[in-house]
Structure 1
Amino acid sequence: MVSLNKTIMRTILIASYIMLIALLTYGLSAIFSYLNTGADRSKMLHTEIAKVEQYLPKIIWQPLRNEGRPMDNENLNTLQNDYLDAWYVKQIAYKTNKIAGIKDYYTESARENLYRFIELNKKNNISIEATTLNHNPNLDFFSEDGQLAVITDKDVTEYKRIFKNDSLLHETNETSTYKIVFLLEDGFWRIRHMVKEQTQETKQTSATISTNSLNIKGINYYPQATPWDMFGDQFSTDTLAQDFKIIKDAGLNSIRIFVQYDDFGAAKVNPLKLKKLLQTLDIAKEHNLKVVLTLFDFYGDYSMMNWTLNQRHAEQIISAVKNHDAILAYDIKNEPNLDFESRGKQNVIAWLEKMIDLVKTMDKKHPVTIGWSNTQSATILLSKVDFVSFHYYEDLKQLNEAITSLKKQIKNKAIVMQEFGLSSYNGFWKPFGSTEEDQANYHKMAQNIIAKNELQFMSWTLYDFAKIPKEVVGRLPWRKRVQGHFGFINQNRETKPAFQYISKE
């Protein structure tokens, strides 16, 4: 028995010794690998910044004619990345009044001023939300030893909101010029001096595009088999061609389609999705249909730190489609007023305003609108949009009055009832719902009101749908079933009585 116990103890000791040697070997290997490959900055930084995903202001370097040593592309890219990261961590610090990350992008002397400013704001319960939207740097000097660089960044577009005790004190748009001195420390460019040489508060205005010739008689469109997934794996040009013929033959001249932000790749747009979008526009053109393109569908985060990512997304979409003959207009966002309560009305409106400015800068030919969910919100940013769009799912008996009120506030701009309709579902989950006959009467009445008030229109929607994603109306079956029966054509691809009123003509 004693011999057995000794054997067990000896086995345990040997196993422990082997495990200890293995752990020591692994540790030494990791240290050796680290020393031979150099430090990974993502593990050094407090903020673990991934700028590609978090901050992408538009940056355009002026031609390199600097004094001193010539700057190669590799060094210039490193300088640019560290410069933008420095802006980003400063913006985070000013918003949170925390200093994490500052020392990674600013030299010891530079960060002292930042620390004092942050401490003062913290003491007075002041926070600053800010972002830059574009930079135009010029390299003035690059030292012969490659350790010092000086740039002038002209016409930096900045947007700021200053809060005290969580209440907005001041909001400003600025165009500024900065002089920045960098030192190369530990292989990274850190800001030593950053001086704002001049600043000008700007109020950006956008020219309004005339919509006197606008004549929208259209419909919101998704393929029947793939609602809210129009550009997915089941994308079919044959289906689009068949459906667009139905729409054109019904007397309509336009469709409204949707680009979903995340589905299209967010800040880095998926080329395959763009290709499918352009194919859709090609087929629309073949059938003499114009397209209202709704951007940022299923997107609801209007935080300032994401603005640059959103703008890079919009740039890629607009650049791809702006010269296509089928494009009629851009709808910046579907029903953004529904996000007022959860995201903050000021945040949503500021985001919309900046996005309108960007789109109008890129495409001066096509008009811009916003798809408000009701008439009450439809005049928000009236001076910025080219025509007014609203959705209406309320009682049609109140529509005339709502339009009269709206027209008193809108002068010389077209008004489009961009979504309206009635579900014909009256099954188990809503036994006292509307019938197909009720739906037909609804559209007959709607078209009479549209004609009387000289409105333009886009009804909801061509088809009944068998499957409704939970992101649209949630998981509750009575909501999903109702949402699936707004179409003029049922799930058997038979026209419903309402089809005869899909257009007045």
Structure 2
Amino acid sequence: MVSLNKNIIRSILIISYIIVIALIVSGISGLFSYLNTGADRSKMLHTEIKKIEQYLPKVIWQPLNNEGRKMDNQNLNAIQNDYLDAWYVKQVAYNSNKKAGIKDYYTDHARKNLYQTIDYNANNNTRVNATTIKHNLNLDFFSEDGQLAVITDKDVLEYKQVYNKDSLVLETKETSTYKSILLLEDGFWRIRHTVRQNFTPIKSKLNPPIDSLNIKGINYYPQNSPWAMFGNLFAKDTLKKDFKIIKDAGLNTIRIFVQYEDFGKADVDKTKLKQLKTTLDIAKQHNLKVIVTLFDFFGDYAVLNWTLNHRHAETIVNSIKNHDALLAWDIKNEPNLDFKSRGKANVIAWLDNMIDVVRSVDSINPITIGWSNTKSATILKDKVDFVSFHYYEDLEELDSKVIALKKEIKNKQLVLQEFGISSYSGFWKPFGNSKEDQASYYKKAQEIIAKNNLQFMSWTLYDFKNIPKEVVGRLPWRKNAQKHFGFIDKNGNKKPAFKYITN
């Protein structure tokens, strides 16, 4: 028995010894591997820059005609990548008043001024929220040894917000020209010196007023894929059938939605882009015009991420801007609902600049914003081409609110872009409205629309079987009510309200 115990103890000690030796060997191996592997710059850098996801300003290179050594594509791409990273690191540092990452993209000489600015801002409770939108680069010089480059960045389009103690004290959009010297150190191009040569404040350009849109329309989703129009359920036959119903009802316009993440954010999904074009093709076949609402289900207005939003918008707008069925761009659906959670100033600044981006790509088609109420509809009224608002409040007050809105907006057309009422009355809402109540609502609404010469787009063609939780949340009384806003019920039958789908 004693011998058996000794053997057990001996076995435990041997196994423990083997485990300890294995751990030590593994640790030494890991340390050796770390010391013999080049550091991952994204790990070294606290901001972990990934331009494909965080920073994509528009970059235009002038034809290469530099002095010194001939430039190759590999070196040119490296210079561009590190130069843009340097801009982004500086923007992060000025916004956070932290110095992490500066040394990776600026030499000892250049970082002194940056550190001084960061320290000064931190001591004065000041921070700068900024981004660059467009760079026009020219290579002036590339040394024979490939270690030094001089570039001129002409008319850099910059947007800045300056905060003091969390209060916005300055907002500016400007163009500046910079000349920079870059040195190749440790395999990376670092900025040695930068001189700002000039800057010019930007004033927004407005399109001339449009004479008439004559919108009599409806917000559209297919019945089997609400809020998921583009994807695996996309069907041409469904669109053809529905667009014929809409046209035969006497309407001439539909409003559709492009979801930011669903379409791939900055890297737009080509398949869904093709489906969007197909939608406009079918609309044209049925003599319907289309208002395309951008950035649906989007809520990140951070200045540092604007360049990603810009690349997304440019791709979408460029792809269909010349389509005959396109009527207008709606920058964002109900952005004022984000005022409380995202900050009113941030949302408005994003909208203001996004209008400029869309207009820079498409100078022909008009632009609007789909505000959720009449109260917010005057915001940016001088930048949009027509003013759109939604109305789900007491119908008895619509007439007076439209009259008040017309007094504030005298030179722009008004579009009642969303309105409607649910016909749901059931377990979750026993005192809701009936189908007859819905019909009475639309009859009265069309009388007010005609009286005020409003253009309109109702919500929506169909009742839906399923509502995504992202739309109205999980509460059953809200989801069930949202399912019954249509003019056509779940079984394909026209409801009494269909008689008043237009005036």
Q: Per the shorter chain, which TM-score range? A: over 0.9
Q: C-alpha distance in 2, partners of 1:143/1:450?
A: 69
Q: C-alpha distance in 1, partners of 2:34/2:73?
A: 27
Determine if the alignment matches structure 1 residue 460 to structure 2 residue 459. yes
Kindly provide the amino acid, as one letter, of the partner of residue 294 in structure 1: T
> Any residues of structure 2 matched to 1:174-185 within 5 Å, and which?
174-185=174-185
Specify the SS of the correspondent of 1:60: strand
Q: Map Cα deviations across residues 306-346 of structure 1 (whole Å, 9 max, x no partner).
A: 11111110011001111111111000000111111111111
Using structure 1 for the length normalisation, give the TM-score.
0.96
Q: Map Cα deviations across residues 168-214 of structure 1 (whole Å, 9 max, x no partner).
A: 11111121011111111111111111111111222222323x42131
Q: C-alpha distance in 1, partners of 2:315/2:432?
A: 43
Determine if the alignment matches structure 1 residue 238 to structure 2 residue 233. no
Q: C-alpha distance in 2, partners of 1:29/1:78?
A: 33
Kindly provide the amino acid, as one letter, of the partner of residue 59 in structure 2: I
Kindly provide the amino acid, as one letter, of the partner of residue 138 in structure 1: N
Please report how far the alpha carbon of residue 24 of structure 1 lies from its aligned counterpart in structure 2 after TM superposition: 5.1
Residue 207 of structure 2 corresponds to 207
Residue 449 of structure 1 corresponds to 448
Q: C-alpha distance in 2, partners of 1:121/1:362?
A: 36
Kindly provide the amino acid, as one letter, of the partner of residue 257 in structure 2: F
Question: What value does the CA root-mean-square deviation take over the aligned residues?
Answer: 1.5
> Any residues of structure 2 matched to 1:340-359 within 5 Å, and which?
340-359=339-358
Q: C-alpha distance in 2, partners of 1:81/1:3?
A: 71
Q: Map Cα deviations across residues 141-185 of structure 1 (whole Å, 9 max, x no partner).
A: 111111111111000011111111111111111210111111111
Residue 306 of structure 1 corresponds to 305
Q: C-alpha distance in 2, partners of 1:264/1:350?
A: 23
Q: C-alpha distance in 2, partners of 1:15/1:42?
A: 40
Please report how far the alpha carbon of residue 20 of structure 1 lies from its aligned counterpart in structure 2 after TM superposition: 4.5
Kindly provide the amino acid, as one letter, of the partner of residue 10 in structure 2: R
Residue 85 of structure 1 corresponds to 85
Kindly provide the amino acid, as one letter, of the partner of residue 478 in structure 2: R
Contact kept in structure 2, 1:206 and 1:357, CA below 8 Å? no
Residue 404 of structure 1 corresponds to 403
Kindly provide the amino acid, as one letter, of the partner of residue 350 in structure 2: W
Residue 391 of structure 1 corresponds to 390
Please report how far the alpha carbon of residue 29 of structure 1 lies from its aligned counterpart in structure 2 after TM superposition: 5.3
Q: C-alpha distance in 1, partners of 2:69/2:16?
A: 59
Contact kept in structure 2, 1:284 and 1:291, CA below 8 Å? yes
Q: Map Cα deviations across residues 267-308 of structure 1 (whole Å, 9 max, x no partner).
A: 111111101111111111111111000000111111111111
Kindly provide the amino acid, as one letter, of the partner of residue 385 in structure 2: D
Q: C-alpha distance in 1, partners of 2:79/2:19?
A: 46
Specify the SS of the correspondent of 1:376: coil
Residue 7 of structure 2 corresponds to 7
Q: C-alpha distance in 2, partners of 1:70/1:6?
A: 78
Residue 44 of structure 1 corresponds to 44
Determine if the alignment matches structure 1 residue 370 to structure 2 residue 365. no
Residue 472 of structure 2 corresponds to 473
Q: C-alpha distance in 1, partners of 2:423/2:291?
A: 26
Kindly provide the amino acid, as one letter, of the partner of residue 203 in structure 1: K
Please report how far the alpha carbon of residue 396 of structure 1 lies from its aligned counterpart in structure 2 after TM superposition: 1.5
Question: Mind listing any 5+ residue stretches in structure 2 that lack a counterpart?
Answer: none
Q: C-alpha distance in 2, partners of 1:157/1:206?
A: 18
Please report how far the alpha carbon of residue 398 of structure 1 lies from its aligned counterpart in structure 2 after TM superposition: 1.0
Please report how far the alpha carbon of residue 25 of structure 1 lies from its aligned counterpart in structure 2 after TM superposition: 5.1
Specify the SS of the correspondent of 2:369: strand
From the superposition, tell whether residues 7 and 352 of structure 1 become closer, same or farther in structure 2 (CA, over 3 Å): same
Residue 499 of structure 1 corresponds to 498
Q: C-alpha distance in 2, partners of 1:213/1:455?
A: 11
Determine if the alignment matches structure 1 residue 250 to structure 2 residue 249. yes
Specify the SS of the correspondent of 1:230: coil
Kindly provide the amino acid, as one letter, of the partner of residue 292 in structure 1: I
Residue 132 of structure 1 corresponds to 132
Specify the SS of the correspondent of 2:421: coil
Q: Map Cα deviations across residues 95-153 of structure 1 (whole Å, 9 max, x no partner).
A: 11111111111111211211111111111111111111111111111111111111110
Contact kept in structure 2, 1:155 and 1:176, CA below 8 Å? yes
Question: Mind listing any 5+ residue stretches in structure 1 that lack a counterpart?
Answer: none
Residue 416 of structure 2 corresponds to 417
Residue 486 of structure 1 corresponds to 485
Kindly provide the amino acid, as one letter, of the partner of residue 155 in structure 1: D
Please report how far the alpha carbon of residue 23 of structure 1 lies from its aligned counterpart in structure 2 after TM superposition: 4.1
Mean Cα deviation higher: 4-13 or 472-481: 4-13
Specify the SS of the correspondent of 2:273: helix
Determine if the alignment matches structure 1 residue 100 to structure 2 residue 110. no
Specify the SS of the correspondent of 1:462: coil
Residue 216 of structure 1 corresponds to 215
Please report how far the alpha carbon of residue 47 of structure 1 lies from its aligned counterpart in structure 2 after TM superposition: 2.2
